[in-house]
Structure 1
Amino acid sequence: MRTKLAAGNWKMNGLKADLAEVEALVAAHPSPLCDVLLCPPATLISAMAQVAGASLDVGAQDCHMKGSGAHTGDISAAMIADAGGSHAIVGHSERRADHHESDVMVRAKAEAAIEGGLIAVICVGETESQRDAGETLTIIGNQLKGSLPDHATAANTVVAYEPVWAIGTGRTPTLEQIAEVHDFMRNALVKRFGAEGDGMRLLYGGSVKPSNATEIFAVSNVDGALVGGASLKAADFGAIIAALDAA
């Protein structure tokens, strides 16, 4: 059985004062049945790890493909681990769009994260125009092939499907659309990685909130969620965690 995972991406939000939300989350959910991960801005990784303790994991929102060097503004896997992080999100659609990150670059970042002892949370997803053109599964298949390292395993890799057109828009794919993509991803991963592919957790990300979490978590091959805005508040993220615990 794959352990469910509730992952929160704070994006470019959060100051030290906001760690009170993490304290409240830990107090309300001291021993969740699912795994819980929060990825704050790099400035908060160390402080959040101290607040979280053993109750939840803390990760980064990106990881550079090199271990060190002249890369102003970037952070390496070793730095993330040194700050108390255990995971790194790579290939988020916002970085693919804003920073022009290709599948080749995402794969290199995932490899660096894994080699640095982190768990790589690798994001894939189609745009609205690609969805409307009927290209969704082709896009997802190509991203899986290009972004996942050959040595990815169930222990070091999580895959997150985030339809770009549903992120932060309030729009959510139908349950049938989510199931189609997640079933497709599972089959592709099993074909490539065998039993390891069957064990990789598949997260859904895209306007997940307390009001729709229960129905999304009942979908085939949805092993959790990558949550954006709703992860910033303990009450909202806690409700999502509770829904995942009950799934």
Structure 2
Amino acid sequence: MRKTVIAGNWKMHKTVDEARELAKALVAGIQADLAGQALPDVVLCPTFVCLPEVLNTVKGSAVQVGAQNMDYRDSGAFTGEIAAPMLTAIHVSHVIIGHSERRQYFAETNHTVNLKVKNALKHGLTPIMCVGETLGERDENLTDNIIKHQVTAGLAEISEAEVAKLVVAYEPVWAIGTGKNCEVVEANRVCKLIRTTINELYPGDKGPGHVADSIPVLYGGSVKASTIEEQMAQTDIDGALVGGAALKAEEFLPIIRGGAKRCKASVGAVNASK
């Protein structure tokens, strides 16, 4: 049974005080609404400066904390960069790698994404590797080629044992922050394509429990409370990478509840099969 993951990418928002209050509200809301229920992996990804405060606020709860980026080197004279050992030292568990905004505004390439994924895995971090096509690429019917290439390049020289620790997020670039939403059937199709591509890279025996069938694949394109239930009902969407809707507890908590509903359905399906 694949994990359900609901990750909130706060991007360049929230002061330390604001981040603390949001994290506190989310922990309280989860405890009030979902006590005793199967929960998704809830991962909050604030700015670097807010990481210690958010980690302290969620301590003792089921909420995990991730970074929005990291360098692929362990240390050095690289002004402004953050290394994986710095993140693990404060008990960060996840890191977003290859987000479309990093690719678009900071010249991040498939090669640097691959280096970062390898370094994150080396240090025990869970990478949330992002892939996705632009509107121009979609209009030219290049979606499948782009996704396959990004997945293949991002996982180059990574072993099957290591790739099993990965989370992948499909984020159609044209749907991020635009209010546009990729049709759920299409989002599910692309998420399945990601899994199929990983299967081709790591064929193994292709049986139940094979690596590609255990990796959570998230959807990340203007996810909202109004869309989460339908998205979580899909066979190949295992959660969400949430942007704007993760910045307010009243908007993010319903998305977390949508993830919990998927967890409950998955547990029920497993029990019924026994």
TM-score normalised to structure 2 length:
0.87
- Structure 1: segments with no counterpart, 5+ residues: none
Separation (CA, whole Å) in 2 of partners of 1:73 and 1:35: 29
Equivalent residue number for residue 221 of structure 1: 236
Equivalent residue number for residue 233 of structure 1: 248
Do the aligned partners of 2:40 and 2:256 also contact (CA within 8 Å) in 1? yes
| Pairwise CA RMSD | 1.3
Could you report, residue by residue, the CA deviation over 1:47-81 in whole angstroms, capped at 9, with x for unpaired residues?
10110113211011001010000110010001111
State the shift of 1:156 in Å. Answer: 2.2
Q: 182, 186, 197: which one pairs with 2:191?
A: 182
Q: 152, 155, 159: which one pairs with 1:151?
A: 159
Equivalent residue number for residue 126 of structure 1: 133
Any residues of structure 2 matched to 1:1-247 within 5 Å, and which? Answer: 1-18=1-18, 19-30=20-31, 31=35, 33-53=39-59, 54-149=61-156, 150-151=158-159, 153=162, 155-194=164-203, 195-247=210-262
Percent of aligned positions that are identical: 40
State the shift of 1:154 in Å. Answer: 5.7
Which structure has the larger Rg over C-alpha atoms? Answer: 2
**Which deviates more from structure 2 when the two are superposed, residues 26-35 or residues 109-118?**
26-35
Could you report, residue by residue, the CA deviation over 1:130-186 in whole angstroms, capped at 9, with x for unpaired residues?
001000000000000001242264652100000000000000011221122011111
Separation (CA, whole Å) in 2 of partners of 1:200 and 1:193: 12
Separation (CA, whole Å) in 2 of partners of 1:62 and 1:234: 23
Separation (CA, whole Å) in 2 of partners of 1:155 and 1:242: 26
Separation (CA, whole Å) in 2 of partners of 1:162 and 1:86: 21
Letter of the aligned partner of 1:226 in structure 2?
A: L
Could you list the structure 1 runs, at least 4 aligned residues long, displaced by more than 6 angstroms after superposition. none
Separation (CA, whole Å) in 2 of partners of 1:151 and 1:159: 16
State the shift of 1:83 in Å. Answer: 2.3
Separation (CA, whole Å) in 2 of partners of 1:235 and 1:55: 19
**Which deviates more from structure 2 when the two are superposed, residues 191-200 or residues 78-87?**
191-200
Separation (CA, whole Å) in 1 of partners of 2:199 and 2:145: 17
How many matched pairs? Answer: 247
Letter of the aligned partner of 1:49 in structure 2?
A: L
Look up the SS of the partner of 2:2 in the other structure. coil
Could you report, residue by residue, the CA deviation over 1:22-65 in whole angstroms, capped at 9, with x for unpaired residues?
11110111355111001100001111011011321101100101
- Structure 2: segments with no counterpart, 5+ residues: 204-209, 263-274
Look up the SS of the partner of 1:117 in the other structure. coil
Look up the SS of the partner of 2:258 in the other structure. helix
Separation (CA, whole Å) in 2 of partners of 1:176 and 1:5: 19
Letter of the aligned partner of 2:94 in structure 1?
A: H
Separation (CA, whole Å) in 2 of partners of 1:16 and 1:42: 10
Letter of the aligned partner of 1:130 in structure 2?
A: E
Letter of the aligned partner of 1:85 in structure 2?
A: V
Letter of the aligned partner of 2:26 in structure 1?
A: L
TM-score normalised to structure 1 length:
0.96
Do the aligned partners of 2:155 and 2:163 also contact (CA within 8 Å) in 1? no
